[in-house]
């Protein structure tokens, strides 16, 4: 059961959560001063408390979280990057994973001892992701506060820190949270740049955009989104110049726009090359061996132009091609499952709407729906153009893309990039804080308590979280599976269960009576043969779960003989 990776938290875990508040204050208070934030002491205490609770929930969950399906590969690629080798062995592993591998690399500089041993495990690698996610949480607070005020910032921060899906993926060595965070950082600094134009703010925005390309290929879509946002932002000035036929200012504006675009292009190009270590940069396009139809077609159409040197590293473009091919063909990620249906190399329309309906806390869904309703009702083009489009347009694009055009629908983690963007809008509900009535505040408090209780009811198992629409957790598999429920994270709990029940059998090859255990993904046919466990799925009811990822069937001899005389 992946016993080759151990998580020795015991010698350092005890005082961590208790000391987080003092550490948080020491870090966040200077950061707020640097960002020219001057909140009251109570407000500052609430921010620190929220972040402390978020970190603590993750820390308390980590010791019993087995390595998930992809973590070892992400960690390995991070090690390779630090060893100056960016050669691909997989499609989606990215240079950002070097951050997770850094503690192990640094351990080589230390003498033998407990600290060195600890740094060589998966635990500190996971803590790097947690640290990054905490920074993303603070950015959510800071941006919302700048837009709508301090109470709005606290609401957005609360929605982030109590999102069970974000908690779940903030403690893993994967790039899902890096993708969420870098998209948010890129959009925030682009917003700052357009409001305060200058080479300094432009370079910072371009840097964030370039770095986002090293986190996950989802960030490629930020380029057209940035262009669309800029065009909308400057539309009034452009239309005015066109109406006045001011051709010289128009040419000057186009020239400046082209200069800024070229800056963003150069910075991105440099950072992508640095991240992938200039691995075979300027390889001619005909020398690439592509898998996907899209890239093969592109290569064929450009072949008459000769040996075009590609100014990005070979593994960067190679990874894009591999991701595209995998997503279109379904190679490598099993079957897609929703509400008892299995599909191969084809997604379900509206998959992430359905997944969100079940895996986002109900109170949060209510808040978001009301925030969208209130925004549409009071829509103002000027404020949308200046502010909201920076997060609403990306949210709309990714919502449509992942629900209707993306085939590799193997878990809510791909859709997490949308959630923080919506939490920014939700914060707007508290912008008119003095006008919020006492009954509204009481309702907000009730929703907050309900959300906390719902999320904590799954502690420490946040990956398989389902809200109360799935009341009996034994049957969550009837709706969704894959990394929504079972990502191999519960293997330590399975080992404990088998130690107490040595007569139990895990996924037997033939039907049998007695204590039988089967993983969710094997039961529904996401992995293995589709009908391997149809005998179990169609005839018996699970009596309990093991960390919600394994189902336990206690089948008596009499029950078994009724089905198999």
List, as one string, the DSSP characters of 447-469. Answer: HHHHHHHHHHTTTT--TT---TT
In which residue are the tokens 């400057």 written?
A: 234
349 and 242 inside one domain = yes
Beta carbons within 10 angstroms of residue 282's beta carbon: 13
Separation in Å, CA 174 to CA 70, 126, 215, 404, 414: 7, 9, 10, 25, 12
Which residues, 6 or more positions from 107, have their beta carbon under 8 angstroms from its beta carbon?
115, 116, 119, 120
395 and 522 housed in the same domain: no
- Domain assignment of residue 28, yes or no: yes
Looking at 149-198, list the stretches that DSSP marks H as alpha helix, in order from N- to C-terminal side: 150-161, 164-169, 176-195
Residue 506: helix, strand or coil by DSSP? strand
For residues 100 and 413, what is the distance between their CA atoms, to the nearest angstrom? 19
**Which residues contact residue 218 at a Cβ distance below 8 angstroms, ignoring those fewer than 6 apart?**
179, 183, 398, 414, 417
Residues 448 and 492 in one domain: no
* Domain identity same for 386 and 509: no
| Mean pLDDT per 10-residue segment, the chain (565 residues) | 34 32 47 55 90 97 94 96 95 95 94 91 96 97 96 97 98 97 98 93 96 97 97 89 81 87 95 97 94 92 88 96 88 85 90 98 97 96 96 98 93 97 97 91 95 97 97 96 95 96 94 95 92 94 96 95 90
Which tokens go with 373?
A: 């309703």
pLDDT at 156: 97
Picking from 441, 456, 471, the residue at the C-terminal end of a domain is 456
In this structure, the answer to whether residues 363 and 505 fall within a common structural domain is no
What are 148's two structure tokens? 């709508």
The helix (run of H) or strand (run of E) holding residue 80 is helix 71-82
Q: Which two tokens stand for residue 275?
A: 């991240």
Per-residue confidence (pLDDT) for residue 122, from 0 to 100: 93
Beta carbons of 84 and 64 less than 8 angstroms apart:
no
DSSP letter at 7 equals -
The two tokens of residue 81 are 């990057």
- In the chain the first and final C-alpha atoms are separated, in Å, by 35
- What domain range is 514 assigned to? 482-563
Residues 44 and 119 in one domain: yes
Asked if residue 511 belongs to a domain, the reply is yes
The span from the CA of 473 to the CA of 464, in Å, is 9
Chain centroid to CA 406: how far? 16
Give pLDDT, residue 32: 52
SS3 303: helix
Q: Give the integer Cα–Cα distance in Å for 351 and 543.
A: 29
Tell me, yes or no, whether 428 and 550 share the same domain: no
In-domain check, residue 173: yes
Predicted pLDDT at 40? 78
Q: Which of 456, 472, 494 is the last residue of a domain?
A: 456
Chain-centroid distance, C-alpha 476: 22
Instruction: Give the pLDDT score at 7.
Output: 33
Say yes or no: 20 and 116 in one domain.
yes
Residue 158 forms part of a structural domain = yes
191-200, Cβ contacts within 8 angstroms, sequence gap of 24 or more: 191/143, 191/387, 191/390, 194/229, 194/230, 194/233, 195/386, 199/263
Q: What pLDDT does 33 receive?
A: 52
Q: Whole-model pTM? A: 0.91
In this prediction, residue 8 carries a pLDDT of 29
Name the token pair of 233. Answer: 């932002």
Are residues 419 and 510 both part of a single domain?
no
Report if residue 509 sits inside a domain: yes
In a domain? residue 303: no
Q: Is residue 327 one of the residues assigned to a domain?
A: no
Report the alpha-carbon distance of residue 164 to residue 266 in Å, rounded.
38
Q: Are 470 and 484 in contact (CB under 8 A)?
A: no
Check whether residue 206 and residue 341 sit in a common domain.
yes
For residue 562, give the 3-state DSSP assignment. Answer: helix
Alpha-carbon distance of 555 to 562, in angstroms, equals: 11
- The count of structural domains within the chain is 2
Taking CA atoms, 257 is separated from 205, 260, 323, 331, 525, in Å, by 15, 5, 32, 41, 52
Residue 1 confidence (pLDDT): 40
Does residue 295 lie in a domain region?
no
Q: Do 403 and 490 belong to one domain? A: no
pLDDT for 17 equals 34
Q: Are residues 447 and 492 in the same domain?
A: no
């Amino acid at each position: 059961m992946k016993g080759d990776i151990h998580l020795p938290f015991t010698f350092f875990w005890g005082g961590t959560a208790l000391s987080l508040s003092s550490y948080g204050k020491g870090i966040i208070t200077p950061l707020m001063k640097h960002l020219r934030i001057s909140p009251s002491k109570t407000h500052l205490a609430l921010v620190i408390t929220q972040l402390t609770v978020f970190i603590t929930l993750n820390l308390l969950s980590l010791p019993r979280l087995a390595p998930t399906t992809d973590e070892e590969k992400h960690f390995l690629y991070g090690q390779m990057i630090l060893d100056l080798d960016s050669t691909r062995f997989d499609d989606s592993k990215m240079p950002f994973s070097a951050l997770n591998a850094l503690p192990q690399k640094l351990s080589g500089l230390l003498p033998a001892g407990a600290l060195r041993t600890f740094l060589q495990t998966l635990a500190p690698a996971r803590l790097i992701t947690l640290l990054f996610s905490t920074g993303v949480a603070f950015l959510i607070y800071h941006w919302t506060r700048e837009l709508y005020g301090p109470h709005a910032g606290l609401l957005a921060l609360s929605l982030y820190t109590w999102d069970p899906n974000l908690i779940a993926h903030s403690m893993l060595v994967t790039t899902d949270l890096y993708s969420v965070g870098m998209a948010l950082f890129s959009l925030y600094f682009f917003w700052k740049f357009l409001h305060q134009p200058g080479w300094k703010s432009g370079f910072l925005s371009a840097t964030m955009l370039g770095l986002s390309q090293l986190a996950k290929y989802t960030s490629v879509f930020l380029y057209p989104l940035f262009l669309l946002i800029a065009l909308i932002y400057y539309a009034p000035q452009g239309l005015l110049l066109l109406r006045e036929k001011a051709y010289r200012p128009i040419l000057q504006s186009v020239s400046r726009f082209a200069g800024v675009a070229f800056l963003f292009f150069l910075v991105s190009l440099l950072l992508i090359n640095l991240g992938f270590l200039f691995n075979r940069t300027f390889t001619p396009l005909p020398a690439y061996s592509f898998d996907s139809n899209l890239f093969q077609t592109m290569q064929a159409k450009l072949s008459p132009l000769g040996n075009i040197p590609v100014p990005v590293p070979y593994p960067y473009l190679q990874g894009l091609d591999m991701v595209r091919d995998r997503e279109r063909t379904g190679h490598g990620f099993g079957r897609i499952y929703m509400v008892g249906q299995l599909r191969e190399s084809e997604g379900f329309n509206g998959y992430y709407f359905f997944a969100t309906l079940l895996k986002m806390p109900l109170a949060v869904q209510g808040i978001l729906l009301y925030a969208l309703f209130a925004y549409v009702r009071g829509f103002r083009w000027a404020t949308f153009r200046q502010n909201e489009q920076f997060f609403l347009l990306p949210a709309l694009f990714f919502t449509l893309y992942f629900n209707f055009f993306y085939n590799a629908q193997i878990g809510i983690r791909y859709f997490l990039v949308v959630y923080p963007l919506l939490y920014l809008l939700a914060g707007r509900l508290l912008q008119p804080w003095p006008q919020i009535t006492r009954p509204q505040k009481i309702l907000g408090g009730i929703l907050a308590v309900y959300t906390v209780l719902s999320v904590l009811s799954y502690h420490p198992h946040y990956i398989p979280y389902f809200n109360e629409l799935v009341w009996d957790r034994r049957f969550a598999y009837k709706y969704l599976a894959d990394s929504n429920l079972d990502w191999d994270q519960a293997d330590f709990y399975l080992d404990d269960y088998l130690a107490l029940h040595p007569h139990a059998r895990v996924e037997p090859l033939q039907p049998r009576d007695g204590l039988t255990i089967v993983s969710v993904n094997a039961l529904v046919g996401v992995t293995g043969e589709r009908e391997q466990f149809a005998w179990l799925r169609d005839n018996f009811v699970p009596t309990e779960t093991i960390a919600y990822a394994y189902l336990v069937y206690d089948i008596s001899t009499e029950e078994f003989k009724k089905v198999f005389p």
